[in-house]
Structure 1
Amino acid sequence: MSDPILFTLAAFALLAAPGPTNTLLATAGAARGGLSEWRLVLAAVTAYGVAIAGYRLVLAPFIAAMPAVGTTLKIAVALYLAWLAIRLWRSTTSLSRTSAGAREVFVATLLNPKGFVAALTLLPSGPDLPAYLAAFAVVVAAASTGWLLIGKGIAASVGERHGSLIPRVASLALLGFVGTLAASALG
């Protein structure tokens, strides 16, 4: 995609859509107050950068040569997200202890299929690639910040009395993504 405005809109639409990373960011925003979690935004930006480089340089050619690798990767991502969902579900005693840290956001983002879509369909090749990567990083930061604030707003609206519901809902959302990935891998 070589039009900068169209690229920015498409990148924002992709990154603002609900997904594993955004679920974890919203949960962290609910637990710890939104903008104070700049480490999570940095983790998401860094993970997308690593994922895009890995997809473009290594995985895309490898998957093209051996399609079973793509299926195996989808199953591995689904298993990781299932583990994360179980962890969120079981630890509802304290919202601040259930939310994801930078490591979980980094891994979930690294494995997020949105990175693959960005690497192989959104980002152009050629001399303009560094500028598009920088723009993509800004969009990742904006979308991540937005999800932290959404989480903060949800926590404010449900209050402490129902705060334990937030990780449970996040857990169910992650399981929905697990189902989608598993269906994609098996079907």
Structure 2
Amino acid sequence: MDDLFLLEAFLLFIAPGPTNALLMAGAVKREKAISLLVAQACGYGIAAACWFSLRPLLPPGAILVLKLVAAAWLVVLGLRLIGSDRIEASEDGDSLSVLATTALNPKAFIYCLAIVPVDARPYELGFYWIVLLVTTAATGSMWLLLGRRLNGGKELADRVAGAALIVFALLLLRPVMAIAAL
């Protein structure tokens, strides 16, 4: 496993997005935290199972292109957050909304196709699936805590998260930069 793998996964899932916005909104509304985290885990679990199943069907060059697209998208999102374009949470922060939003969240796609090593064997994908669930439980818990604690510092939180997205995009491009240097 790459030394930066856990950092990359953490930065990806701690960054704001629709799932984290719903978790924070649910915490503000005092929804049941455990049900929201279970819904998040189920959503990411479903999405990862789908993406891991599709990996063998993709040509080798497709994952490199997907990494470039993912990095570009993360930079765009990061710049939007730094520029204070708020990612709004739905008024409905219930578990079903969290489940559906998470299952469709592009972070699972980025994790499964851009962070998990291309040469991972099928039996290793189970390990990466567990890492995904543990990482998202930890980062989701942080967003729930933030929702309970944060009153007026949302803009600063967005700027810090935007910078983290840009750092993550650069980390994601590390293998691409190595290939370009050859």
Q: Give the corresponding residue for 1:145.
A: 141
AA paired with 2:49? A
The one of 4, 13, 16 equivalent to 1:15 is: 13
Q: CA deviation at 1:116?
A: 0.6
Q: CA deviation at 1:128?
A: 2.4
Whether 2:38 is the aligned partner of 1:38: answer no
Q: CA deviation at 1:123?
A: 2.0
Q: Residue deviations 1:125-162, cap 9 Å, x none?
A: 213222222122111000000001111112xx36xxxx
Matches within 5 A, 1:157-172: 157=151
The one of 93, 100, 103 equivalent to 1:100 is: 93
State whether residues 31 and 99 of structure 1, in contact with CA within 8 Å, keep that contact through their aligned partners in structure 2.
Answer: no
The one of 45, 52, 57 equivalent to 2:48 is: 52
AA paired with 2:46? V
Matches within 5 A, 1:106-121: 106-121=99-114
The one of 23, 26, 42 equivalent to 2:24 is: 26
Measured in 1, the distance between the counterparts of 2:17 and 2:110 equals: 13
Q: Residue deviations 1:92-130, cap 9 Å, x none?
A: xxxxxx441111001111111101101101223213222
Task: Note the residue ranges of structure 2 that are not aligned, 5 or more in a row.
Answer: 63-87, 155-182
Q: Residue deviations 1:5-64, cap 9 Å, x none?
A: 42111111000001000000000111106xx411111111111111011123248848x7
Measured in 2, the distance between the counterparts of 1:60 and 1:114 equals: 19
State whether residues 48 and 129 of structure 2, in contact with CA within 8 Å, keep that contact through their aligned partners in structure 1.
Answer: no
Name the SS for the 2:4 alignment partner. helix
AA paired with 2:98? V
Q: Give the corresponding residue for 2:81.
A: none
User: Structure 1's 102 and 60: CA in aligned 2 closer, same or farther, altered over 3 A?
Assistant: farther
Structure 1 length as normaliser, TM-score?
0.58
Task: Note the residue ranges of structure 1 that are not aligned, 5 or more in a row.
Answer: 65-84, 89-97, 159-165, 167-187
Give the number of the structure whose residues are more often helix, by fraction: 1
